[in-house]
């Protein structure tokens, strides 16, 4: 299975192709997740975001007020709104297409799907291999542990 996308840069266009061996992706049971990740990467590359735009979009995604375990979601929403304003300003500063922000924001449902698929795969992996899941890197556990505990309260 080969996945590829084009990415524009200052010197022109080049094609990046990444391949996963079929048996590995089938055995892992993550082909739907991997496919969704590559689709997101392909569509984001098409938008040709600058480093600044990508950083602001990443911040807006990370500051998601709809996480069920948040206690002050309104504060997070205000921060996210400020990030979107900064992103819009950055887009306008570069004289980019007017609809670029809406194109970027339209990727959020796909990102939510990827997040949910990822959490499902993590939970399945945690149930099958609890000893390995205990050895996940600390940052990974910090970011995803609350989501896993919330998504499956009987395992908490």
Q: Which fold has domain 51-144?
A: Retinoid X Receptor (1.10.565)
Query: Which of 5-9, 55-59, 122-126, 145-149 has the highest mean predicted lDDT (pLDDT)?
Result: 55-59
Q: How confident is the model at residue 2 (pLDDT cuts 50, 70, 90)?
A: very low
13-67 residue pLDDT tens: 444 444 444 444 444 678 888 888 898 899 889 988 889 999 999 898 888 888 7
DSSP character at residue 155? G
Q: Give me the helices (H) in 7-155, please.
A: 22-28, 31-46, 51-62, 73-93, 100-105, 108-128, 130-133, 138-151
């Amino acid at each position: 299975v080969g996945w590829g996308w084009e990415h524009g840069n200052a010197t022109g266009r080049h094609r990046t192709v990444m391949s996963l061996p079929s048996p590995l992706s089938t055995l892992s049971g993550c082909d739907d997740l991997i496919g969704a990740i590559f689709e997101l990467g392909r569509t984001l590359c098409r938008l040709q975001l600058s480093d600044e735009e990508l950083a602001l979009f990443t911040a807006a995604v990370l500051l998601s007020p709809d996480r069920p375990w948040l206690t002050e979601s309104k504060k997070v929403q205000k921060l996210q709104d400020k990030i979107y304003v900064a992103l819009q300003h950055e887009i306008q500063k570069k004289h980019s297409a007017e609809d670029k922000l809406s194109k970027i924001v339209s990727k959020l449902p796909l990102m939510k799907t990827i997040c949910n698929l990822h959490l499902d795969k993590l939970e399945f992996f945690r149930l099958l291999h609890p000893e390995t899941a205990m050895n996940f890197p600390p940052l990974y556990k910090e970011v995803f542990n609350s989501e896993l505990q919330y998504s499956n309260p009987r395992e908490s």
